[in-house]
Amino acid sequence: MSAMVCISHLYFSYTGSAPFLLTDLNIDISEGSYVSIIGENGAGKTSLMRLLLGFLKPTSGRIALATRAVGYVPQADPTTMEAFPITVGELLYAFCAAKGIRASLRNQAVDGVLECVGMQDRKADLFSNLSGGQRQRVLLSRALLGDNRLLVLDEPSTGVDPQNRKELYALLRSINRNRGMTIIAVEHNLEDATASSTELIHLQEGRAHICSPQAYRKEEHLCGNG
């Protein structure tokens, strides 16, 4: 299976010199995989995500993506668009225009992604009136516009109640399997990460430890019983 992301000898610090937040990372993420980035607060999870998206530049080393077709779902903010009355449809049509999707194709594109996330009946609703879980679905649908091959999410379950969280991760797994999209998610909830992912990137003391969810759970169990 070909690599969607190749990270080679990556070093990063916000000052541009030692001490480094991320140290000599070497990671290959296969196309079609579902990878969660985990670690303690301050371990560099968000920084690694921002490096992948090109929002930050490595101090040294290289990040190569096999595609420029990348969808991004930011961490939910409860105040997002509270004071800006925009409907779900208007939000997505505006993004279509910004992404350069032809006007003649926008209805089909918007209806398609809303159906994919189960929000086809909410097109005329105000975004600000939706629940946390519904907002995340809409933001996810926005990230699916334009036939993206890579989906990057920042703590997707933030602000989502337990039932909607369960449905959200089932939806992400479905998108990963049925659309063949590579998914990379920054996660603070280990239960969500281990239940959904095919692979984990565990950041610890600046280093990346890569393992399967099964191996991680086994290691945690052994440590807990040590």
Give the side-chain half-sphere CA count within 13 A for 174. Answer: 10
Q: What is the spatial distance between Cα 28 and Cα 64, in angstroms, rounded to a whole number?
A: 10
pLDDT of res. 163: 87
pLDDT tens-digit map of 20-31: 999 999 999 999
**3-class SS of residue 29:** strand
CA-wise closest residue to 187 among 11, 40, 80 = 40
Helix H segments across 61-212? 88-99, 103-116, 132-144, 162-178, 190-196
Q: Which residues of 153-165 are buried (b: 16+ CB within 10 A; e: fewer)?
A: bbbbbbbbeeebb
pLDDT of res. 83: 62
Residues of the chain with pLDDT under 70: 1, 78-84, 220-226
Q: What is the spatial distance between Cα 187 and Cα 53, in angstroms, rounded to a whole number?
A: 16
pLDDT of res. 226: 40
Kindly list the domain boundaries of the chain, sorted by start residue: 80-148
pLDDT of res. 138: 94
Owner of token pair 């992948």: 52
* 29: Cβ contacts below 8 Å, ≥ 6 apart: 3, 4, 5, 6, 35, 182, 184, 199
Residue 114: how many other CB atoms lie within 10 Å: 22
